[in-house]
Amino acid sequence: MTQVLLSLGHGYSAQALAARLLPQGWRVIGTTRSAEKAARLAAQGVEPLIWPGADLAPALAQATHILSSIAPDAAGDPVLAAHAAQLAQAPTRWVGYLSTTGVYGDHQGGWVDETTALTPGTARGHHRVAAEAQWQALGLPLHIFRLAGIYGPGRGPFRKVLEGTAQRIVKPGQFFSRIHVEDIGQVLEASIHRPAPGAIYNICDDDPSPPQDVLGHAAELLGVPLPPEVEIDKADMTALARSFYAESKRVRNDRMKTDLGVTLRYPTYRDGLAALHAQIPTKGAR
């Protein structure tokens, strides 16, 4: 029997999973918002659906597995607002919901794990906590993945460093956790092969670090001067970027490794940046 993944909001992380499943003979149906993106998905071997707009009922009836990557907003989770009843009846064997470590809020650089109370300090975090609860209430074979900051091909620090626009923003005691997109893909695949309905996993690497260290290491790999240091209260930042600095924590990933048997391909940002640096063309860079 062909296994079918319905990927709701088939973006960066979901594409990393699809790249692993398609060569194994899976069908992947992915929703996207535009015809242009739909064409790109089709070129990758994904069956595109433009949503909102398309009727999801046929795809839901065929899906053996469902992954939702669509972020909620103040109005709630848009997928559940439109299709909660249909989802609750879907004959799927595995459901994954991509959440965020932002649900834990600020811990002043302290460690958190999946048992830590959810005390979000941002609107985005509150929306995610509510969405997690809504998905859990459906009674599906649900697996929640709380993702740290995502990087990978096309989403590394090198371009800003080369363009001279990067700043090493310094806030004492600030820690961020990260995860390479390829490791997200392998964690999701591992969960599919080891389903544990009700499970929650933090998806991050082994080395939560101050953000200025990451930019500094990128500059060292490129052989260019270090970006200037700027104190947080003097930095020119968007409100969104500043909100990330309002929370500092180090995220544990023991459950991901122990329960799913995952060995990270990029256990630290140094491993991940080295791989991205090796992909930069000799002339020009991303």
Q: Are strands 65-68 and 94-100 parallel, antiparallel or unpaired?
A: parallel
Q: Which residues contact 37 (CB under 8 A, 6 or more apart)?
A: 48
Assign 3-state DSSP to the chain and report helix, strand, coil percentages, each to 5.
Answer: 40, 20, 40
The pLDDT tens digits of the residues spanning 127-172 come to 999 999 999 999 999 999 999 999 999 998 998 998 888 999 999 9
Query: What's the pLDDT at 283?
Result: 45
User: Which of left, alpha, beta for 153 (phi over 0: left; psi -120 to 50: alpha)?
Assistant: beta
Query: What is d(CA 24, CA 28) in angstroms, rounded to the nearest whole number?
Result: 11
DSSP secondary structure code for residue 228 in this structure: P
CATH number of 4-151+179-206+251-266: 3.40.50.720
* Helix, strand, or coil (residue 162): helix
Tens-place pLDDT, residues 244-255:
899 999 999 999
Task: Locate the domains of the chain by residue range.
Answer: 4-151+179-206+251-266
Average pLDDT, the chain: 94
| pTM of the predicted structure, to 2 decimals | 0.95
